[in-house]
């Protein structure tokens, strides 16, 4: 599977497609924005003029898009992936979307002889750039095995977690954990600084103990410097928390802490912080306490 059509060359997709091109795959990328296309070309890939142009000769099609409406339009639309991909191609959706959308895409793909995996990722912009993403994959075992060489160029933790849609359920669990950890780290920093302590030093100590986490290691500079340049935007995390709450309802379970954190993320978005990195929950918590960025 040496020819890849890659659709969605944003903050995550562009470095991912670049890694595949650098690894020797023939990667044809498509995006409505030119910046990602230029990054792909610089990595050895080629620009496609349309979805059809990207996928027509591809052995593998990868989509990396913001939400289920975009994925459904690109894959299921009148001029979409399933209309133009060749029979036997493998479609890997690496977006974070609703499990039911992934399942519907898998059913539609099967009707056209196209294999499908849902393979959302965790690790953010840094993880994509460093090719150390965690990849949680739903679909058939044989298709997962076939995709392993591709995944190996994108991540370090790669697990087949179950049938179609299972990858999205695991990603929902991931996102509720990340949001909760960010929120508590932000509250810890507010407490440290309100007590007259050096916040960074305090957070460094926390990072080295049981309270430490990948989230804190990745975001400590964002917290300490109040640098909320987006690596993963609050508005996208708000979407993901909605997916987590919906998945909980589908599973028939109550997740009270998830509900509280989801409301916090929603409040940050409605307060105009949607374009911030999700570490920008700190700005909301500081605002509640009458301080922080203007």
Q: Which sign does the torsion angle of CA 15, 20, 26, 28 carry?
A: negative
From the CB of residue 50, how many other CB atoms can be counted at a distance below 10 Å?
11
Residue 239 falls in the annotated catalytic set: no
CB atoms near residue 194 (< 10 Å): 12
Instruction: Catalytic residue, from 171, 219, 239, 269: name it.
Output: 171
Catalytic residues: 171
């Amino acid at each position: 599977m040496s020819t890849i059509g890659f659709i969605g060359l944003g903050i995550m997709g562009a470095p991912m497609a670049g890694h595949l091109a650098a690894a020797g795959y023939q990667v044809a990328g498509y995006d409505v924005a030119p910046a990602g296309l230029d990054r792909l070309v610089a990595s050895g890939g080629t620009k496609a003029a349309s979805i059809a142009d990207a996928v027509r000769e591809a052995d593998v099609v990868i989509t990396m898009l913001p939400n289920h409406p975009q994925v459904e339009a690109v894959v299921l639309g009148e001029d979409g992936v399933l209309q133009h991909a060749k029979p036997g191609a493998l479609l890997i959706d690496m977006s974070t979307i609703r499990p039911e959308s992934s399942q519907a895409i898998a059913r539609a793909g099967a009707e056209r002889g196209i294999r499908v995996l849902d393979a959302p990722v965790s690790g953010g912009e840094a993880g994509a750039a460093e090719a150390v993403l965690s990849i949680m994959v739903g679909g058939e075992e044989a298709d997962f095995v076939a995709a392993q060489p591709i995944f190996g160029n994108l991540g370090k933790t790669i697990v087949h977690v179950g049938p179609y849609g299972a990858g999205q359920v695991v990603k929902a669990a991931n996102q509720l954990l990340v949001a909760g950890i960010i929120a508590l780290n932000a509250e810890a920093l507010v407490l440290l600084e309100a007590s007259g302590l050096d916040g960074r030093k305090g957070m460094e100590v926390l990072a080295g103990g049981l309270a430490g986490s990948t989230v804190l290691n990745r975001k400590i500079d964002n917290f300490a410097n109040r640098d909320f340049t987006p690596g993963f935007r609050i508005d996208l995390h708000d979407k993901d928390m909605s997916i987590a709450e919906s998945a909980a309802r589908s599973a028939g379970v109550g997740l009270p802490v998830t509900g509280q954190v989801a409301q916090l993320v929603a409040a940050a978005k409605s307060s105009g912080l949607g374009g911030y990195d999700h570490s920008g929950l700190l700005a909301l918590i500081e605002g509640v306490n009458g301080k922080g960025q203007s």
